[in-house]
Structure 1
Amino acid sequence: MTSYVAVLTFPNSADVYQAYSDLKSSPVIGEVGSAVILQRDADGALTVPQDFDPGAGAGVATGSLVGLLVGILGGPLGMLLGWGAGAAIGALTDADRADDADSALSVLARSVPAGRNALVLQTEETDESALDHFAADRGATIVRQPLDEVLAEAEAEQDAAEVAREAASEKLRSERKAGRKEKIEDRIAALRAKLEQL
């Protein structure tokens, strides 16, 4: 059995909602740990209109792995990978890693174009053909990435983001300290000038 993050994209927005509904009663559901519909607007912003956890009936994906990945892709890392508009490649990691076509997170981020939606699944599949048929029957394109690769990349990117945040905080503290020192020196000089005028 292999664990994946699978992204199903559909020709029309309405199709993803129908597939989401169909999935709940499909035999494929036995291989799905959690699922979420992602909506990406024209500017690249990510929203989650619906989600479910098959093991708990109607539920909230934010507690699941898919919910975690949605948080990652919808946050600063998602901006870096192209989920949001105005992303500055290199903000958290170097451009080579962010542009790496083989990166599992990059592949997932690119699989949902702006202005479209998708069904994102965490799966445990013994045979990929069942989900492939489910997708094909609904006109969907499916992209899978091994779960362990996605998690390893997410962990590495989060670690890099933390290092970058710490470096930025240290730089800000240094600049503030230098600014305070300059202000003190300016105030002393101003007082000295006033005293000399007396």
Structure 2
Amino acid sequence: MAAPVNNRIRLKKNGFSIIEVLIAMMILGIIAAAFLLALVTASKAIALADIRTVSESLARSQLEVIKSETYISHQGITTPDLVFPDVFDVLYTTIDPALYGVANPSRFGVKVEVTPCDSSGTPVPDRSIDEDLQLVVVTVYHDDNGDGLFTDLTEDTPDEKVFSITNYKSKRGLS
């Protein structure tokens, strides 16, 4: 009688049970989902880095264009009753992103704000004086949601304002 009991103990299984296969597939599915999520996140990060790089390049190019232009004084210009854009902010040439090799130029907008400053560099909001020094702020917008509202740059939502750079422009030359 001892022999049949011993034979039952020595029986070996060949292959995997359905439970083992299901557990292995579940683990593999979790790993695959995590990998795909990482790929999507990396893809979004690359797209955002590209937008920021293009925006910074456009802002710096715009600032160089303004620096290379002749100084335009605000002295004697009265403040008009304009809502937007302020007449002072369009005195200097604004670049066109399409001319700079931007992949999707209609999604980018450049805004230039120029404020006269006194001799200490403090902006003069009422623009009553211009002591040959101006504060220049260049802001680049990206139309993230595709609504096209940044084209007049009145929609100043944080998700569309990508890069801003500030510098001074001074009148150079003989006095």
TM-score (norm 1): 0.24
Larger radius of gyration, structure 1 or 2? 2
Higher helix share: 1
